[in-house]
Amino acid sequence: MTVPEHLAAAGCPYTGRPAGAPLYGSALAADPHGLYARLRAEHGPVAPIELEPGVEAWLVIGYQEMLELTRNEQQFSKDSRGWRVPREGRLRRDSHLVPMTTWRPTLQSADGAEHQRLSTAVGDTLARIDHKRLRETTEAAAMALIESWGPDGTADLVAQFTRRLPLLVFTQLLDLPEEDGPPLLELITGVVDSTADSQRSAAALAGLLASLVRRRREQPGDDLTSWLLTHPVGLTDEEVVHHLVVLLVAGNEPTINWIGNTVRLLLTDRRFRTSLTGGRATVADALDEVLWRDPPVQNFPGRWATSDTVLGGQYISAGDLLVLGLAGANDDPSAHGPDGLSGNRAHLAWGAGRHVCPAKDPARLVVETAIETLLHCLPDLQLAVPAHELTWRPSPWSRALTSLPVLYSAFTPPRSAPPERTAWTPQPQTGSAPTDSTPPEPTSTPRTAGSALSDLRRRLSSLVGWWSGR
């Protein structure tokens, strides 16, 4: 193995890979920012890690290094088939890394011209989504979920709101027949919950989507599947199925976490509530604050080195996996302006380079609408436990609460009309400071009256009823 010239010239002979810090377990869930700070202090902007025992990788937590990594496809490829760990027989067949790193014929695994072809189809398809209709669908889904809660004024927003709302919205974007809605919800839940049956759920989900693709190939409609099938780049049926899986599964988890993390910020952060009180911040500002501080995806695999190189002072071998440390790079002091994070959207929560998330605009609309609807339907929403008792899932990828228990006054939104836009005033709660903050009135898209909106609400209420066991 050749020692990098600049290291040898500097009198720093390469003596082997440094020991990697485990990027798994409870320590990561309890204090990820502390972990990233320690790694930065010990190793610099690129740190050695273990993704599971015996599986090494590099975590890129430098802002500039992240930009270099994501902009240089020739040196750092998205094609995981070059990863030397499975090639050397060191990745277990049942490893939790397999779903996140397996090569598939999607834009997430492609470089160069092939990535351009696939991303054009996906980007153009997402651009066809009617934002007015998407806002109405999201609001109707949020209201249907809130209406399904019991009369005792308590709820777990993770289990009963954030984990369900994005799936309800997706069923409408796909224009699924009503009988396919419940199976789709059940299968996606089985996949993302990583249960013992997750592989069976994944196979069944692919089968359901393949049937949907065959039907839309014969009879195109006004929906995501039809738009992908009829795009001029000419996606195959297999490519469409895989991209639907990406949109449904990879797009679902970040949306869930973004909603939950933003509501947590609004209910617990004294500094942010003070900004709301003074009219200096809005719910939209809270969304950006979360993307900086607790992005819904904190780490993401990845890039694979195509040849030996140096990044951030570390010697990277061909076939090494580099993990995008989105949250860690956001913590890099060089990324923050003189005024801190206020009004700054230069975060890396969406990634960077050609592989930046193509769904960021519809995702923001869904999350913002969901939170606005929740807060205005339940104006006295508050935490049901002290803030320090909230816990996080021990995932190296997601920054996700395990639960978000809340209290509110008994209140049922009207079924025939959207709720009045009343001010939201979080109430004093155990373990957090009192507040009298009131965010500015949000600007809503005018709503469409008539049977179409009534039918949408009926279908969403039916799905929520199935989910609630009614």
Separation of alpha carbons 415 and 412, rounded Å: 9
Tally of CB atoms within 10 A around 209: 23
Number of H helices, E strands in the chain: 20, 11
How many angstroms separate the first and last alpha carbons of the chain? 64
- Global confidence as pTM: 0.84
| Omega within 30 of 0 (cis) for the link into 150 | no
Q: 463 and 164 in contact (C-beta within 8 Å)? A: no
Alpha carbon separation from 6 to 2, 12, 309, 311, 315 (Å, rounded): 12, 9, 11, 12, 11
Q: How far from chain centre, in Å, is Cα 469?
A: 27
At residue 192, the pLDDT reads: 59
At residue 340, the pLDDT reads: 56
Please, which residues bridge with residue 50 across strands?
A: 22, 56
At residue 200, the pLDDT reads: 76
At residue 454, the pLDDT reads: 80
322: three-class secondary structure by DSSP = strand
At residue 70, the pLDDT reads: 94
Separation of alpha carbons 272 and 395, rounded Å: 26
67 CB contacts (<8 Å, ≥6 apart)?
Answer: 352, 353
At residue 179, the pLDDT reads: 72
At residue 150, the pLDDT reads: 81
Separation of alpha carbons 28 and 248, rounded Å: 26
At residue 418, the pLDDT reads: 45
Separation of alpha carbons 452 and 72, rounded Å: 47
Separation of alpha carbons 322 and 309, rounded Å: 12
Phi, then psi, of 30 in degrees rounded to 5: -70, -40
**Could you say which residues of the chain have pLDDT below 50?**
1-4, 6-15, 415-423, 429-448
Alpha carbon separation from 466 to 179, 180, 456, 461 (Å, rounded): 11, 12, 16, 9
Residue 333 parent element (H or E): none
Q: How far from chain centre, in Å, is Cα 12?
A: 40
Separation of alpha carbons 469 and 119, rounded Å: 39
At residue 183, the pLDDT reads: 77
Under CATH, domain 5-467 is a member of which superfamily? Cytochrome P450 (1.10.630.10)
Separation of alpha carbons 437 and 270, rounded Å: 10
At residue 346, the pLDDT reads: 81
